[in-house]
Structure 1
């Protein structure tokens, strides 16, 4: 730990009170229009900060977050990595792109073992993951590349378990991806000697992709579909989606019920059986961990798996390095070391981190560079507020008040030097596509920030308010060429459920101190937060950290 000890800041001894970072998840800075729930919300405290506190905006997407291009939206995982790491690391999508381009994915041990297993047993190679080009959890290009590679090395049978998106992409865009993958399968099958098919599917918020153990029955529903072939049968992926939409015209892709694909006799075409290999092709970890545990944990007790098939299982990446989940993975994750949390522990500083279940892993695991647990039990306190299991649009205030209650109590105790919290409202409610509920979500966050201001002032502290990416700032889809709202058949605006490419706010509330935004910092982004926090605590940042945003 001694190598992590930092020198005192060259010109600033540090604030006398605590440093508090508030991450307003999914609250970006967008155009002032009827689709911007952030602008439409009544936010007197954020409005006051924008006028009276040193403020700027930060890049929270694309290359600033370690993603391949500035056309790639940010997300909570890479956002919190950047916030806690103090610099930018190549992230999931970029790492996978590189591994496919240079062939290292197909030369790696996990791929070779998966191929060997199915060629020895004659069982199918199963691909499971999110079928879209959202580039947040997965990308359809990665699946297409692996299908072609499997064909090239002589794999005769492939089954795909398609999780339907509509969350990181337009909410009813599934058929676009279905058409693409069916073309890929038809091209391979057309050469003869191949049997490549879709086997099961369902909306990502209904099956398989739960996170933070918020809803294990989601994972169980997925398990029954993918592994046991138990579910409503359809002759094709396209037929399933079209039928389910006809039966419920209001349903959006992420909420489509699960289903299996059956042959002419009604038999499922692709349950996962002994001798198979399963590749989970999502690169992001949070919604891949639970299904991975179901495949790998010999003492699993979250639901009755029935006879667990003997399969080779691997993820696109290792989703949890400390827990080694999964044991096999196709692409090594970024090695994020020397995070802000490590440096604070080495400096003897005490830290507090809190959010509700939906984002608890982001202010702990992801903030700490994809590391589970604490660096020092004595100097760190983590507090999780259990999330509701009701639809987020029905309770858009979520757990903002409870998070704030706990934070204020901790601040008044003066036990810690640095505090970080995440309000999940703007992101989780924004993902529902319900604009008016998202307005209420933003207002709940603003109310909580208003409660924090007098407490931070009384303690001579500093409050840094930002976000990890945008979402609620664009609740309607836009026509790229004109900037107008896309419309549905009835003329109403088409809801948007994905993240945005907008910058995020950054406010410095520091009553009693003379601070300003350092305008010499080029292209400020989330990764500048690490050095900023160290600066305010009176410590010099490591040379390779991006510079502090504070002048004065």
Structure 2
């Protein structure tokens, strides 16, 4: 290759409408403005069918985004896989489902735990409803739902709609001798759904709520949500934990020997609670008198680490990733981010594979994230990431370097516009420093994103402008910076999966036949 390549992923930075709710546009970003005005660029589809999701109404996310960026191909993702498995009946024919149902019919309860929404990023309420109906059809008498409130991949205060939908189904299934009910819940950013081991106390709080039935009690999930909203003013993702009670006692705890299904299909925020249920040697917090349950995830969230051991839907086999192609060619690689997105530039980038393809050719580095609300520290670790990137560029040890700046996504999810604007300005300064290093040390720099978020911080509902905390459906930029070569991007419609073929083409390597086409 003529020059080594740096790929900068600005997480959650799409092309918005340029209005007052577009933090990318509102922010002072002279570097990004200059790049768009002076460099070859296009915009990539980063949602829906372009990243393997069922429809173009499905927003993209960091997991499917990095899969597409790092694999150069489009394949069925979690939501689509699960939907197909339920529709075909393959899920119910699996040995895991049969085992859990048989256990529940033998005097134990069946519990469903997961995110209650149709956001289709971590879960889908329709998958839960389908499994509830099947459990009832197969004769399971006691079934309990432990619901995590979304407000992040769906409108910020939409939880009551999903609770009402679920309660209607449970009422229908409460035929003679059956007890189908919501047992516990709480906001997804308060309990249970931590990721990358950033906040184990959050997972412990979920354990105390779902398993032990400890916490503030309410007569219903609806009452809990309405009470907490009135008391705290929090949106759904931040609502405290609650336990649903009858006659002063929890509707259902998760007892030793029960059957438990985690119905989230996305891996990052499912792994820690899976470990708590699944591992005999678990030591992150005291599980009390817990001795074990029959536990299964919707998918296996990490195939190499076997998290969890049992799962309902077989995952896709992802081969021919960019890392495999580069390792085969003897290319030295460097991957960097802070904790919040480190798994994305490694595990998800490599096709949902833990570890490295070649220990001799790859270096992965993680900058520990601060455990602090992102709106309070919107710069996150952008300074540290930039310093490490520049130092590794100067070393000339690597021919391909990639990094992720999480700011646009993680701060974007808070809904605090002022913080998101500042976050974007921090990213812009970081990109400037990388471009300066590229000029000094001789690199091509590619700038892109995995999905939108910071570009759409407001939305109109029922004629009223409200804060938006979910990802956008907007395309994301793809920019080529190279002071020594005038690259030409071919006319066409492209998605994230076209990035890897473009990188390989720049390096003069041959792309696998299963990949999408190069943009140059």
Note whether the superposition's TM-score is higher than 0.5: yes
Match of 1:3 in 2: none
Give the drift of 1:334.
1.5
Q: CA deviation at 1:194?
A: 1.1
Q: Which residue of 1 aligns with 2:144?
A: 159
Q: In the TM superposition, what are the counterparts of 1:300-379 in structure 2 within 5 Å?
A: 300-379=282-361
**Counterpart for residue 424 of structure 2:** 442
Q: Is the 8 A contact 1:460 1:511 kept in 2?
A: no
How far is 1:459 from its partner? 2.4
Aligned match of 1:19 = 5
SS in 2 for 1:431: helix
Give the corresponding residue for 2:469: 497
Offset of 1:159 from its aligned partner? Answer: 0.6
Provide the rounded CA distance (Å) in 2 between the counterparts of 1:25 and 1:478: 24
Query: Where in structure 2 are the equivalents of 1:145-184 lying within 5 Å?
Result: 145-184=130-169
8 Å Cα contact 1:355/1:363 also seen in 2: yes
Pick aligned residue for 1:525 from 480, 495, 498: 495
Match of 1:516, SS state, is coil
The aligned runs of 1:290-301 (5 Å cut-off) are 290-301=272-283
| Cα pair 1:466 1:504 within 8 Å, conserved | yes
Q: Distance in 2 between matches of 1:469 and 1:29?
A: 10
Task: Give runs of aligned pairs for residues 444-523 of structure 1, distance below 5 A.
Answer: 444-479=426-461, 487=464, 493-519=465-491, 521=492, 523=493
CA distance in 2, matches of 1:116, 1:365: 35
The 2-side partners of 1:317 and 1:380 are apart by: 28
**C-alpha contact (below 8 Å) 2:320/2:512 kept by paired residues:** no
| Alignment-derived partner of residue 482 in structure 1 | none
Deviation at 1:474, TM superposition (A): 0.6
SS in 1 for 2:366: strand
Tell me the distance in 1 between the aligned counterparts of 2:424 and 2:518.
28
- Distance in 1 between the 2:499 and 2:463 partners? 36
The corresponding residue for 2:199 is 215
**CA–CA separation in structure 1 for the residues paired with 2:519 and 2:5:** 14
- Please tell me whether residue 109 in structure 1 is matched to residue 79 in structure 2: no
How does 1:127-146 map onto structure 2 within 5 Å?
A: 127-146=112-131
| Residue-by-residue CA offset, 1:481-502 (whole Å, 9 max, x unaligned) | xxxx953xxxxx3110000110
The aligned counterpart of 1:81 is: 67
What's the CA shift for 1:378?
1.5
Partner of 1:98: 84
CA distance in 2, matches of 1:536, 1:215: 40
Q: Distance in 2 between matches of 1:316 and 1:260?
A: 24
- Unmatched tracts of structure 1, length 5 or more: 1-13, 480-484, 488-492
Mapping of residues 126-275 of structure 1, within 5 Å: 126-189=111-174, 191-249=175-233, 251-264=234-247, 266-275=248-257
The 3 A distance-change label for structure 1 pair 494 and 486 is farther
State the TM-score, normalized to the length of structure 2. Answer: 0.99
Quote the offset at 1:531 in angstroms.
0.8
Paired residue secondary structure (1:272): coil
Contact 1:340–1:530 (Cα < 8 Å) also in 2: yes
Structure 2 Cα separation of the partners of residues 69 and 511 of structure 1: 39
Map of 2:516 onto structure 1: 546
Cα distance in structure 2, aligned partners of 1:30 and 1:36: 6
The 8 Å contact of residues 385 and 403 in structure 1, kept in 2 or not, is answered as: yes
**Stretches (4+) displaced over 3 A:** none
Distance of 2:4 and 2:269 partners within structure 1:
33
8 Å CA contact retained: 1:22, 1:466: yes
Range moving further from structure 2, 458-467 or 503-512:
458-467
2:37 to 44, 51, 54: 51
- 357-366 or 529-538: bigger deviation: 529-538
CA distance in 2, matches of 1:506, 1:105: 39
Instruction: Give 1:458 deviation, angstroms.
Output: 2.2
Cα distance in 2, alignment partners of residues 451 and 307 from structure 1: 53
- TM-score when scaled to structure 1? 0.93
Q: Considering only aligned residues, what root-mean-square deviation do their CA atoms show, in Å?
A: 1.0
C-alpha distance in 1 between matches for 2:18 and 2:291: 53
Contact 2:21–2:455 (CA under 8 A) maintained in structure 1 = yes
Q: Deviations over 1:303-334 (max 9, x none)?
A: 11112242100000000010011111111112
SS at match of 1:262: strand
Q: Can you give the 5+ residue segments of structure 2 that lack an aligned partner in the other structure?
A: none
Aligned with 1:162: secondary structure? Answer: strand
Q: Specify the SS of the correspondent of 2:69.
A: helix
For residues 51-107 of structure 1, what are the alpha-carbon distances to aligned partners after superposition, in whole Å with 9 as ceiling and x for unaligned? 111000000000000000000000000000000111001000000110111111111
Question: Paired residues, what number?
Answer: 520
Structure-1 separation of matches of 2:167 and 2:44: 40
Shift of residue 124, structure 1, vs aligned partner:
1.2
Equivalence for 1:119: 105
